[in-house]
């Protein structure tokens, strides 16, 4: 049988009762940070550009000559023209997703015997933005962009289609494809938010 040992709470001295010393000790960190400069931004009047690795709205990269070697192997079985989504309908994104119902993917076989993707919809209301689908994509087609303003008045507006994702990826790659893959765009922006880091 386990014996529970009870310890009486120490009583407060008259000095502690009169001057609220325990309360002041507890508020010390709050008071210290109250007078520091804030690191928040005045959104929507001031907007920061997220890092390249930010998990924003999804996009589909297109066939443009920058495909990974894995796409070259699968390409001969697909009917994908230049400038079109390089999706190969492998369903790996759907398999990796914790909520696979958010994907609606359809493909057909052409008379030449090749496969062509006809539908790729994502219901972003069900998305957790975990990025597992992008990690699973074998041809680096499905990516996450830096677009985070996705509010809408209707639920139907939160369903993104293949055409939308293709245009989004073209714009994202035009702006940031050659940018180094780092958390902050430059040290000036990091310093503006977090100040100078002093290494111990």
pLDDT in tens, 48-70: 888 888 999 999 999 998 899 99
Q: What is the structure's pLDDT at 102? A: 94
Q: What is the structure's pLDDT at 27? A: 85
Say what the pTM is: 0.73
Q: What is the structure's pLDDT at 114? A: 92
Q: What is the structure's pLDDT at 197? A: 62
Query: Which H, E and C letters describe the chain, residue by residue?
Result: CCCCCCCCCCCCCHHHHHHCHHHHHHHHHHHHHHCCCCCCCCCCCCCCCCCCCCCCCEEECECCCCCCHHHHHHHHHECCCCCCECCCCCCHHHHHCCCHHHEEEEEEECCCCCEEEEEEEEECCCCCCCCHHHHHCCCCCEEECCCCCCCCCCHHHHEECHHHHHHHHHHHHHHHCCCCCCCCCCHHHHHHHHCCCCCC
Kindly give the parts of the chain with pLDDT less than 50: none
Topology (CATH) of 58-176: Alpha-Beta Plaits (3.30.70)
Q: What is the structure's pLDDT at 24? A: 79
Instruction: For the chain, give every domain's residue range.
Output: 58-176
């Amino acid at each position: 049988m386990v014996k529970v040992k009870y310890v009486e709470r120490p009583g407060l001295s008259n000095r502690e009762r009169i001057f609220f010393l325990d309360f002041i000790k507890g508020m010390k960190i709050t008071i210290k940070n109250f007078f520091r400069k804030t690191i928040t931004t005045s959104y929507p009047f001031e907007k920061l550009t997220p890092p390249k690795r930010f998990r924003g709205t999804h996009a589909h990269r297109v066939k443009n000559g920058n495909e990974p070697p894995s796409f070259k192997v699968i390409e001969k079985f697909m009917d994908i023209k230049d400038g079109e989504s390089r999706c190969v309908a492998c369903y790996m994104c759907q398999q990796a997703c914790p909520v696979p119902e958010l994907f609606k993917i359809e493909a057909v076989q052409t008379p030449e015997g090749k496969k062509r993707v006809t539908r790729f919809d994502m219901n972003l209301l069900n998305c957790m933005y975990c990025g597992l689908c992008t990690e699973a994509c074998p041809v680096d087609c499905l990516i996450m962009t830096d677009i985070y303003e996705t509010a809408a008045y209707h639920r139907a507006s939160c369903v993104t289609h293949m055409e939308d994702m293709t245009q989004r990826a073209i714009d994202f790659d035009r702006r940031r494809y050659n940018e180094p893959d780092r958390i902050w765009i430059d040290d000036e922006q990091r310093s503006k938010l977090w100040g100078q880091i002093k290494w111990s």
